[in-house]
Chains A and B, each alone.
Chain A
Amino acid sequence: MNKYFHSVELNADLCCGCTNCLKRCPTEAIRIRGGKAHILSERCIDCGECIRICPHHAKHARSNQLEEINNYKIKIAIPAPALFGQFNNLNDIDIVLTGLRALGFDVVYEVSRGAELVSEATRRMIAEGKLNKPIISSACPAVVRLIKIRFPELCGNVMPLLAPMEVAARMARREVIDMTGVDDSEIGVFFITPCPAKVTEINAPNSTEKSAVSGAIAISQIYPALTSKMDKLKVIEPIAKSGLLGVGWATSGGESAAMLGEKYLAADGIENVIRVLEELEDDHIRDVDFIELNACSGGCVGGVLAIENPYVAQARIQNLRKYMPVSLNHLKDGDVERMMWENELEFNAESFRLSEDIIEAMDMMEKMEEICKTLPGLDCGSCGAPTCRALAEDIVKGNAKETDCIHKLKAKIQSVYDQLGTL
């Protein structure tokens, strides 16, 4: 498999080479070359900001089609709690879960059930003093990827527990195998996702060798078929087995609230997340034990594959939670061990460094500083790099030339023109 799998992809036919995604990308992972956007694989964290901003819909997230569930004998849906915020006047999540059954899934297992187990495991591990404080949540895969490429000293603070999606997938598989005796390979587990980074997490997990999730179907893709089934249901099946703590994970602050009293901080929106991580790295945040970070504004409900305005979805989820029990899922013996990461989070140094050799890197940086002084400092993006500094970096790396800067090119043409005039 490719070293870097990305769910975010470009449809080159639709890309007109404008600078919208270029300027929006939080890791400076986009360049415009030959009039089309290119994603620098080693820097992309699949946050989906470029999908959100592109006015031409040239960026999209790879995900699975509903028909693909038919490749498996037993079909399991694991819906993200964010799904429950997408419907008007919903007062019972069983309507959504039964709707998924009507779409062809044999079993529906809420990811919020996994979330409740993750919350309980986190509380237990904190009480046992086993974690480096402050603990950074590992639930948002875009944030984990960001830490992995940009914050080496924080890798050890990321909670070494699998995310609720993975926990739910494993639990669901086990339940079905225990119940029916079918072989694991005959089971397809599909995550109903608001999030492109989760698609990446399934295909190239940060923390485990192989994900228990078989595929991901975007909420935006399944939505029309699902609502039409939900409208026609005759019987609502009693499927839901999660409480308000698990469902609360759909919105920013929900995971923190499920910590039940730890001193926490919850930040959402990728720019805010970066600011918190920078301050954390500099030791400015001292009186907090737990840090919840969500790349999307509003939390998972703000995912780029969701339909509804995140704040409307958040209000609906608050309302739904009112009538729910606190928590319906509790750890059994061995659960925590099964939920631990199999691989340690390792810093990937190559994303931002200029060269493996520090002497060469220093040389390149010196050249960069010199080039920077000659650039206009407008950060206009017309050269195809997001800032003048990024262009300087591309030039020393041999990926761009100074006349890619249209202002420098204009000055050069002007000087040629002036010289011609004197002939």
Chain B
Amino acid sequence: MSNIHLHYDVSGEDFTRAGEASGSVKKRLKALGYNSDAIRRVAIAMYEAEINMVIHADGGFVDVNIYPDHVDVLLSDHGPGIPDVEKAMQAGFSTAPDNVRNLGFGAGMGLPNIKKYTDDMRIETVIGKGTDLYLTVKVNEA
């Protein structure tokens, strides 16, 4: 199946740049005339995941594959890994430092929100090595 591949590097140093990748993907999906609900879900989930990469993992990269009926996203970092994925998935659980919380992030809604907005979510994490987050958003024809 034909697809469009996009690649982004996410800087771990600059909060103000988090969201650049999701913003760029959103713009492209709109140009494709993509289903608007799917666009919104991709944008929200990707942004949350990008923020996570900046807060916890010092950045990484994002690979996006756009298909006519779904979007696959891989967010890969070389951060500390997630020791307890189940716990990290609980709403309100957060290991974000205070300076991050003061910016309004780190409310412990990142992963739960990503799960809520995607149709499929898979986490591969190795302590000390990093985390790969695979997301899929499908077009739900109303």
Contacts and interface: CB of A to CB of B under 8 A. Distances in A.
Given A282-B47, A365-B28, A355 B33 contact: yes
B26 to A, nearest CB: 8
- The binding surface of chain A is classed by DSSP as helix
B40 interface: yes
B32 A358 contact: yes
A184 interface: no
A354 B31 CA distance: 6
Contact of A354 (B33, B36, B37): B33
Contacts, number: 58
Contacts of A152: 36, 39
Contacts of B30: 150, 352-353
A366 to B, nearest CB: 6
A68 interface: no
A352 B36 CA distance: 13
A362 B43 contact: no
Interface in A330-374: 347, 349, 352-356, 358-359, 361-363, 365-366, 369
Given A150-B30, A353-B30, A362 B39 contact: no
Contacts of B68: 358-359, 362
Contacts of B36: 152-153, 347
A365 B33 contact: no
B34 A282 contact: no
B4 A353 contact: no
B33 A366 contact: no
Interface residues of A, number: 24
A284 B26 CA distance: 15
A278 interface: yes
Contact of A153 (B31, B32, B33, B39): B39
Contact of B66 (A281, A282, A349, A362): A362
Interface in B29-85: 30-34, 36-37, 39-40, 43-44, 47, 66, 68
B47 A153 contact: no
A283 interface: yes
Contacts of A150: 30
8 contacts: A281-B26, A353-B30, A356-B33, A358-B32, A358-B34, A358-B68, A359-B68, A362-B66
Name the 9 nearest CB pairs between A and B, nearest first: A353-B33, A152-B36, A361-B32, A153-B40, A358-B68, A283-B44, A282-B43, A153-B36, A354-B31
